[in-house]
Amino acid sequence: MKKLVLSIAVFLAVFSCKTNPFTGKSTLNFYSNSQMFPMAFAQYDEFLSENKVVKGTTDAQMITRVGQRIASAAERWLDANGYPGYLKDYQWEYNLVQDETVNAWCMPGGKIVVYTGILPITQNETGVAVVMGHEVAHALADHGAQRMSAGMIQQIGAVAGNVAIQDPEKRNMFNTAYGLGSTVGVMLPFSRSHETEADRIGLQIMAIAGYNPDEAARLWERMKAQSGGQAPPEFLSTHPSNDTRISNLTAWAPAAKQEARKFGVTSFK
């Protein structure tokens, strides 16, 4: 049984990789778009039916406008870099939801929600573009499918350990150590790497869409001020610290502008 479990894990790891077009790196991904997207679309529709969607306001129109520009910029980049048709199964949708939570998210396949609670921090359309670029980048890089794939590997490891260890006391010790070690040592760094990757890809896309990438670091300075320093240590978090993000985004902004110039974008709003 142990050998079977390990064999399955190795098979999945070796034969379930997909290339990230923005980094050129292979990623662990057991799920195709045809598996992920219908589930995501159904969950998105359910969420909208249970929450207050803001329609017809200036802010709601801005969310749609920014989203469309970001998605169009992503498609231009992908087409120009040898990935035509990459977005053919995506169904972009952008909704503003009445909720004071400071958050936004994008489900696989391009289903995006922005909460009204984040708008005082974004302050303007360019600030919204920072958020939207980041969220769109998650969808473009298949981060949702990768997290599910990593979770499957984590579960297989737990099963293998429990099959191999017959002594109940040792098994309990293993489960405690494995749960903590795999979370802090693997899953949380994995999540932080996705957030960092989405920051970088999003910065590039927003610049191609004509938005000033310098605004990204300023947004996170406002995020830091809003949090009041109340955040867990970075190694215990799913996200990089505010200071790490500010430093990264500041360093990456010139390259994002340079990339945008390849598409004829020389001025930014």
Rounded CA-CA distance 265/208 in Å is 6
pLDDT score recorded for residue 59: 98
Rounded CA-CA distance 259/269 in Å is 16
What is the amino acid identity at position 209? Answer: A
Tokens of 6: 């390990």
- Indicate which residue of 46, 75, 125, 135 is catalytic: 135
Q: At what angle do helices 58-80 and 125-140 cross, to 10 degrees?
A: 50
Q: How far is CA 228 from CA 49, 108, 143, 238, 249, in A?
A: 33, 32, 29, 18, 20
- Tell me what percent of the residues of the chain surpass a pLDDT of 90: 62
Residue 197 bears catalytic tag: no
pLDDT: which is higher, 173 or 267:
267
Checking if the pLDDT of 3 tops 90, the result is no
Residues contacting residue 196 through CB under 8 Å, at least 6 positions apart:
240, 244, 245, 248
Q: Are 74 and 88 in contact (CB under 8 A)?
A: no
pLDDT score recorded for residue 146: 78
- pLDDT classification of 29: cutoffs 50, 70, 90: confident
pLDDT digits (tens, 9 = 90+) for 112-157: 999 999 999 999 999 999 999 999 999 999 887 777 777 777 777 7
Q: What is the pTM of this model?
A: 0.84
Strands (E), the chain: 17-19, 26-28, 53-54, 93-97, 104-107, 111-115
Rounded CA-CA distance 105/143 in Å is 12
Helix (H, G, I), strand (E, B) or coil at 180: helix
pLDDT digits (tens, 9 = 90+) for 54-97: 999 999 999 999 999 999 999 999 999 999 999 999 999 999 99
CA quadruple 198, 200, 201, 206: dihedral sign: positive
pLDDT score recorded for residue 2: 44
Q: At what angle do helices 143-164 and 2-15 cross, to 10 degrees?
A: 160
Closest CA relative to residue 211, chosen from 180, 151, 253? 253
pLDDT: which is higher, 37 or 184:
37
pLDDT: which is higher, 79 or 173:
79
* Strand-strand pairing, 111-115 and 104-107: antiparallel
Q: What is the Rg, in whole angstroms, of the alpha carbon atoms belonging to the chain?
A: 20
Helix (H, G, I), strand (E, B) or coil at 83: coil
Question: Chain-centre distance of CA 174, in angstroms?
Answer: 31
DSSP-assigned beta bridge partners for residue 104:
114
pLDDT score recorded for residue 151: 72
Rounded CA-CA distance 163/36 in Å is 30
Helix (H, G, I), strand (E, B) or coil at 125: helix
- Beginning with the edge strand found earlier in the chain, give each strand of the sheet holding 111-115 in spatial order: 53-54, 93-97, 111-115, 104-107
